[in-house]
């Protein structure tokens, strides 16, 4: 047996490392200087060792990630053409978004329905229409991103009412595959902490399991968003797979992997200095890949203020292609295995989220907490703290609250309204609102632009 190259080096104990660090600190306190607490209440250390390894089984996908292109269905002929073009240019998965019924045969014309993963985000609940599409495609690779509980949380109302919504979902369940989606992305984009995102998503999914039983488990899949906290976002995805497996075991369901569809978060994207969004989404897509996402749909750098356009969509798709083909991330779903740091925070996030999940269940479950406003209150508190950190520059968004380019003018470039729209409708519960951290500051800059324009024209 060959001698290891490392055998000639003397092993250094953890205590020796700490002593060396303490000497180098020259009297400064180790805890005050080098330890920091994340907003998840996880203490991050300056170094990790084999003692921090948790030997976790994250049950990652067997295959690498799919590159997904998101397409809005307005004109089915145009949407079909965009889908075919995206598949020729490197995508192998398509997400169709629709607000009204459409001609699905025309939409899917010339697509390989057996090999291409298809996601349908349909913002209405029509069981006959969904069953028709499912029967027409008849593939395990088709996913319907339908989430009646997520719709209640985001809009404040059921599509129809509680019983009717669940009855319609039950009809869909009997005939369609992969027909229940659970929206972690909602909690991320409203400002929830990672621990909250994990616990709320778990409790959210558990409502479906309790309503329909364990036989529904193989039809549930998940929509995630990832933020800019690189290692923590990797750990988030890995922790969720551990937690989901633990919940399924309570229903006597084994060997069923969570299917996770992931997008970068919108919460940290900015209107000004928008090219920095490319850096943010690249980092976030890397987290999504290393965390073990099944499919990833990137956000274009200009999606805040521009309508969908060929250039922005091509760049966003190419970011994923570069990571997949040129950065050797094609089969990277297990790259984080054995990382002392990532395994440590994965384990802690899972433990913290499980504690919160149990508290929710003991208090009557997710729907009860949602109707009582508890979930909304907790997320609002977390979002407010994050927004205060942004205003105080403890949270930096380059080009927005730090190193602003005063010559960067956006008033004339807005094709879309980039801010939260006020809703004046009666709701059953207080809705959760997706919003970006930088919105208040951007509104002020736009007002200043208007004022300067009026002055110059006056």
Q: DSSP string of 240-260? A: HHHHHHHHHHHTT--S-PPPE
The terminus-to-terminus CA distance of the chain in angstroms comes to 86
Position 330 pLDDT exceeds 80: yes
The pLDDT assigned to 53 comes to: 84
Are 107 and 96 in contact by the 8 Å Cβ rule? The answer is yes
In 3-state terms the chain splits into helix, strand, coil percentages (rounded to 5) of 50, 10, 40
The C-alpha atoms of residue 217 and residue 311 are separated, in whole angstroms, by 39
| Tokens matching residue 444 | 């002020």
Q: Mean pLDDT across the stretch 315-339? A: 96
Residues in a beta bridge with 94: 69, 118
Q: Mean pLDDT across the stretch 410-419? A: 95
Are 316 and 310 in contact by the 8 Å Cβ rule? The answer is no
- Mean pLDDT, the chain, rounded, equals 95
Residues 6+ apart with CB under 8 A from 8: none
Distances (CA, A) of 440 to 151, 388, 401, 413, 415: 26, 11, 11, 18, 19
CB-neighbour burial class of residue 379 (10 A; exposed 0-12, middle 13-18, buried 19+) = buried
Block residue for tokens 């009666």: 426
Indicate left, alpha or beta for 157 from its phi (over 0: left) and psi (-120 to 50: alpha): beta
The pLDDT assigned to 55 comes to: 81
Q: Mean pLDDT across the stretch 37-59? A: 88
pLDDT band at 13 (very low <50, low <70, confident <90, very high): confident
CA angle 208, 210, 215 (to 5 degrees): 75
Neighbours of 113 (CB within 10 A): 13
Q: What percent of the chain has pLDDT over 70?
A: 97
pLDDT band at 6 (very low <50, low <70, confident <90, very high): low
The C-alpha atoms of residue 231 and residue 225 are separated, in whole angstroms, by 14
Q: Mean pLDDT across the stretch 371-399? A: 96
pLDDT band at 1 (very low <50, low <70, confident <90, very high): very low
Q: Mean pLDDT across the stretch 98-122? A: 97
CA 396 vs. chain centroid, Å, equals 20
Q: Among 5-14, 164-173, 197-206, whose mean pLDDT is lowest?
A: 5-14
Block residue for tokens 């030997």: 55
Q: Mean pLDDT across the stretch 106-135? A: 97
- Condensed to tens digits (0 to 9), the pLDDT of residues 289-319 reads 999 999 999 999 999 999 999 999 999 999 9
The C-alpha atoms of residue 445 and residue 458 are separated, in whole angstroms, by 20
Q: Mean pLDDT across the stretch 91-117? A: 97
The pLDDT assigned to 355 comes to: 97
Residues in a beta bridge with 122: 98
The C-alpha atoms of residue 433 and residue 226 are separated, in whole angstroms, by 17
């Amino acid at each position: 047996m060959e001698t290891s190259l490392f055998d000639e080096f003397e092993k250094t104990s953890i205590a020796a490392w700490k002593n060396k660090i303490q000497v180098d600190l020259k009297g400064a306190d180790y805890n005050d200087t080098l330890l920091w607490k994340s907003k998840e209440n996880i203490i991050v250390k300056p170094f990790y060792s084999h003692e921090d390894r948790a030997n976790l089984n994250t049950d990652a996908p067997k295959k690498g990630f799919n590159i997904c292109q998101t397409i809005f269905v307005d004109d089915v002929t145009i949407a079909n053409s965009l889908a075919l073009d995206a598949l020729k240019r490197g995508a192998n998965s398509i997400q169709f978004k629709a607000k009204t019924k459409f001609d699905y045969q025309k939409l899917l014309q010339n697509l390989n329905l057996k090999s291409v993963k298809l996601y349908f985000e349909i913002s209405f609940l029509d069981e006959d229409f969904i069953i028709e599409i499912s029967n027409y495609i008849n593939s395990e690779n088709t996913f319907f991103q339908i989430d009646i509980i997520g719709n209640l949380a985001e809009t404040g109302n059921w599509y129809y009412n509680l019983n009717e919504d669940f009855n319609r979902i039950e009809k869909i369940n009997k005939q369609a595959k992969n027909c229940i989606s659970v929206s972690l992305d909602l909690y991320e984009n409203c400002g929830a902490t990672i621990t909250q995102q994990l616990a709320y998503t778990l409790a959210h999914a558990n409502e479906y399991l309790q309503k329909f039983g364990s036989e529904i488990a193989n039809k549930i899949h998940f929509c995630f968003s990832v933020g800019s906290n690189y290692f923590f976002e990797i750990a988030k995805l890995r922790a969720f797979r551990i937690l989901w497996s633990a919940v399924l075991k309570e229903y006597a369901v084994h060997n069923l992997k969570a299917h996770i569809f992931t997008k970068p978060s919108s919460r940290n994207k900015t209107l000004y200095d928008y090219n920095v969004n490319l850096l943010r989404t690249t980092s976030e897509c890397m987290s999504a890949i290393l965390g073990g996402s099944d499919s990833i749909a990137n956000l274009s750098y200009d999606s805040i203020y521009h309508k969908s356009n060929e250039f922005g969509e091509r760049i966003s798709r190419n970011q994923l292609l570069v990571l997949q083909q040129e950065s050797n991330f094609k089969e990277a779903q297990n790259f984080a295995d054995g990382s002392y740091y990532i395994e440590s925070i994965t384990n802690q996030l899972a433990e913290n989220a499980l504690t919160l999940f149990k508290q929710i269940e003991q208090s009557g479950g997710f729907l009860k907490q949602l109707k009582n406003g508890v979930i909304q209150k907790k997320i609002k508190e977390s979002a407010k703290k994050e927004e205060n950190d942004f205003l105080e520059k403890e949270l930096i968004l380059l080009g927005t609250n730090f190193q602003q380019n005063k010559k960067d003018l956006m008033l004339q470039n807005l094709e879309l309204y980039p801010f939260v729209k006020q809703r004046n409708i009666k709701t059953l519960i207080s809705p959760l609102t997706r919003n970006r951290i930088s919105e208040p500051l951007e509104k002020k800059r736009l007002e200043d632009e208007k004022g300067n324009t009026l002055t110059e024209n006056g």
